[in-house]
């Protein structure tokens, strides 16, 4: 039987356990190997162009690409917006849920069902007020073009809190059709991230209808919630799966320092708050440990913090040099003095390991050199371009394309003539089509002439055969007549 709510007595017990572990494992931490932390280089300028797609959004938080090329964008303040044919529609999308918009809470992620083209299902994550305290919620509904109809709550996290921070709230569909969701530690409830009888500080895996997959790692464990996939997280701000390898990547905020990228494995404990590379905001230790037995180390950590937000895996041929690498947007690039004006990191991956980092600056055209916006999200578009959301009031949707423009897509032989003609001026088209028509007529005339000549020859052959046959038949008839006359008496 699974506990329905977390027990505040467990929080006290959790603190006691943590302090005990901290003391007993302090010696072990002296010998523990550090997580991979790479040197960072500044990316070369001029690698891409930045186009402003939309602006004056109210704390844009997430973006999803519709099959027809349009886009849905969430605003943390509670609105779902449509970008139609490159233009932000003034009227907000109807049918969205009431959200708790306060602190870091509000309308967060927007994700399309893998079969959206046929079922039109849109998923939203958001914070909502409840009698027990506010928490993280997932709902879904049918997108009609102007509204989300039949919206229903399919999951509510057992992470009720009085705080208005650290919700996590990112989700992503996995290769198997389930989805994974991040749930933060609520800040004041950090010890709960080590207790699996609640959803604080965890990743959660669900079926597309919100039910629990039978193969989740804690199914059947009476001391844990069935939906939990991993635990020991602080405030995970992005999660995705590499479709090719199946690897799940997530990033999360540390306190002061200790931001992480993790490879998420089922059932694993990622250490928070017993082990961390960061310190508290007062400068005091959260824990003296950077690692401890059976806790998974991060793939990468940052000290000082960059406050990672969105993250995407680069695919396609538009940014071929970045293919297979992670792009991570930053909310606090200024913490790193030598890269204070660079608000995105390219994490270079080779065979699953971090091979280096580049610090990148993403700004709208005309932005002064001494201004670098906080970035909230980054996503790969279906055409291979990269979309970035700036954070805050007056937020922007920016599109990154390679310097010199997007590469031309390959065309089939059937479409090549049409695309070639479309690139010409009208007189050129007429002249080209006229020439093609003349050539076709000439070829047709030749073919008809050849066919007619062959038909005449065939007819002559047939006539000759018929004449020979008739002549033979006449000779045979005459011979038979002669025989008949010879044999009959004269009358």
Query: Given this model, what pLDDT does residue 190 score?
Result: 98
Q: Which 3 state secondary structure label does DSSP give 180? A: strand
Is residue 33's pLDDT more than 90?
A: no
Phi, psi at 13, each rounded to 5°: -60, -40
In the block, tokens 């939906």 appear at 227
Residue % of the chain over a pLDDT of 70: 75
Residues whose CB is less than 8 angstroms from the CB of residue 223 and which lie 6 or more positions away in sequence, other chains included: 196, 197
For the segment 462-472, the average pLDDT, to the nearest whole number, is 50
Query: Given this model, what pLDDT does residue 220 score?
Result: 96
Where are the domains positioned within the chain?
A: 8-402, 413-487
Query: Given this model, what pLDDT does residue 16 score?
Result: 39
Q: Which of 27-41, 171-185, 369-383 has the lowest mean pLDDT?
A: 27-41
For the segment 452-458, the average pLDDT, to the nearest whole number, is 53
- Measured between alpha carbons, how far is 416 from 436 in angstroms, rounded to an integer? 15
Q: Each residue of 303-334: pLDDT tens digit?
A: 999 999 999 999 999 999 999 999 999 999 88
- Our separate counts of H helices and E strands in the chain read 5, 25
Our answer to whether residue 166 is catalytic in this structure is yes
Query: Given this model, what pLDDT does residue 475 score?
Result: 52
Average pLDDT over the chain, rounded to whole?
A: 84
Is residue 485's pLDDT more than 50?
A: no
Query: Given this model, what pLDDT does residue 5 score?
Result: 39
Is residue 442's pLDDT more than 60?
A: no
- Measured between alpha carbons, how far is 379 from 37 in angstroms, rounded to an integer? 24
Q: Each residue of 402-426: pLDDT tens digit?
A: 999 999 864 433 334 334 434 444 4
With beta carbons less than 8 A apart as the criterion, state whether 235 and 254 touch: no
Name the packing angle between helices 426-487 and 413-422 (round to 10°).
Answer: 140
Query: Which residues on neighbouring strands pair with residue 346, listed in sequence order?
Result: 327, 358
Query: Given this model, what pLDDT does residue 465 score?
Result: 56
With beta carbons less than 8 A apart as the criterion, state whether 166 and 216 touch: no
Is residue 231's pLDDT more than 60?
A: yes
Which one from 6, 113, 166, 233 is the annotated catalytic residue? 166
Query: Given this model, what pLDDT does residue 244 score?
Result: 97
Is residue 92's pLDDT more than 60?
A: yes
For the chain, the distance separating the N- and C-terminal CA atoms, rounded to the nearest angstrom, is 127
Q: Each residue of 342-352: pLDDT tens digit?
A: 999 999 999 99
Query: Given this model, what pLDDT does residue 39 score?
Result: 82
For the segment 254-273, the average pLDDT, to the nearest whole number, is 98
Residue 200 is encoded by which pair of tokens? 């604080």
Q: Which 3 state secondary structure label does DSSP give 207? A: coil
Q: How confident is the model at residue 461 (pLDDT cuts 50, 70, 90)?
A: low
For the segment 416-440, the average pLDDT, to the nearest whole number, is 42
Is residue 21's pLDDT more than 50?
A: no
Q: Which among 167, 136, 141 has a CA at the least distance from the CA of 80?
A: 141
For the segment 175-179, the average pLDDT, to the nearest whole number, is 98
What's the sign of the alpha-carbon dihedral 323, 328, 333, 335? negative
**CATH fold of the domain at 8-402:** Neuraminidase (2.120.10)
Q: Each residue of 290-300: pLDDT tens digit?
A: 999 999 999 99
Q: How confident is the model at residue 472 (pLDDT cuts 50, 70, 90)?
A: low
Query: Given this model, what pLDDT does residue 45 score?
Result: 84
pTM of the model: 0.79
- Measured between alpha carbons, how far is 60 from 92 in angstroms, rounded to an integer? 13
Higher pLDDT, 5 or 106: 106
Q: Which among 28, 29, 5, 25 has a CA at the least distance from the CA of 17?
A: 25
């Amino acid at each position: 039987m699974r506990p329905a709510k977390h027990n505040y007595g467990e929080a006290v017990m959790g603190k006691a356990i943590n302090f005990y572990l901290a003391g007993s494992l302090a010696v072990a931490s002296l010998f523990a190997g550090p997580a991979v932390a790479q040197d960072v280089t500044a990316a070369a300028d001029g690698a891409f162009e930045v186009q402003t797609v939309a602006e004056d959004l109210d704390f844009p938080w997430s973006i999803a690409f519709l099959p027809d090329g349009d886009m849905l964008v969430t605003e943390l303040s509670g609105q779902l917006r449509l970008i139609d044919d490159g233009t932000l529609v003034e009227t907000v999308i109807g049918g969205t849920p009431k959200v708790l918009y306060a602190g870091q809470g509000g309308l967060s992620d927007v994700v399309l069902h893998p079969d959206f083209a046929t079922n039109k299902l849109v998923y939203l994550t958001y914070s909502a007020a409840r009698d027990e305290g506010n928490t993280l919620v997932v709902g879904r509904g049918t997108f009609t073009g102007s509204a989300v109809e039949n919206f229903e709550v399919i999951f509510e996290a057992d992470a009720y809190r009085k705080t208005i921070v650290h919700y996590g709230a990112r989700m992503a569909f996995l290769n198997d059709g389930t989805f994974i969701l991040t749930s933060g530690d609520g800040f004041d409830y950090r010890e709960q991230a080590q207790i699996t009888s609640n959803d604080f500080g965890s990743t959660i895996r669900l079926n597309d209808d919100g039910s629990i997959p039978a193969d989740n790692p804690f199914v059947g464990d009476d001391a844990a919630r069935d939906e939990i996939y991993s635990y020991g997280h602080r405030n995970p701000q992005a999660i995705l799966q590499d479709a090719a390898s199946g690897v799940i990547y997530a990033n999360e905020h540390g306190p002061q320092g200790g931001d992480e990228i993790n490879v998420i494995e089922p059932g694993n404990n990622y250490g928070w708050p017993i082990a961390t590379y960061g310190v508290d905001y007062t400068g005091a230790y959260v824990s003296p440990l950077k690692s401890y037995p059976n806790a998974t180390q991060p793939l990468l950590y940052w000290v000082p913090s960059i406050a990672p937000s969105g993250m995407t895996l680069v695919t396609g041929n538009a940014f071929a040099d970045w293919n297979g690498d992670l792009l991570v947007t930053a909310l606090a690039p200024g913490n790193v003095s030598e890269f204070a004006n660079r608000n995105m990191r390219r994490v270079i991956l080779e065979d699953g390991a971090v091979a280096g980092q580049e610090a990148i600056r993403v700004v709208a055209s005309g932005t002064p050199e001494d201004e670098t916006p906080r970035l909230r999200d980054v996503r790969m578009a279906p055409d291979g371009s990269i979309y970035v959301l700036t954070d805050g009031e007056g937020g922007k949707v920016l599109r990154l394309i390679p310097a010199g423009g997007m590469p031309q897509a390959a065309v089939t032989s059937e479409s090549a003539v049409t695309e070639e003609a479309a690139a010409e001026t009208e007189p050129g088209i007429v002249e080209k089509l006229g020439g093609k028509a003349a050539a076709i007529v000439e070829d047709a005339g030749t073919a008809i002439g050849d066919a007619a000549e062959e038909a005449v020859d065939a007819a002559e052959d047939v006539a000759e055969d018929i004449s020979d046959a008739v002549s033979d038949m006449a000779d045979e008839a005459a011979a038979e007549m002669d025989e008949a006359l010879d044999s009959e008496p004269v009358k």
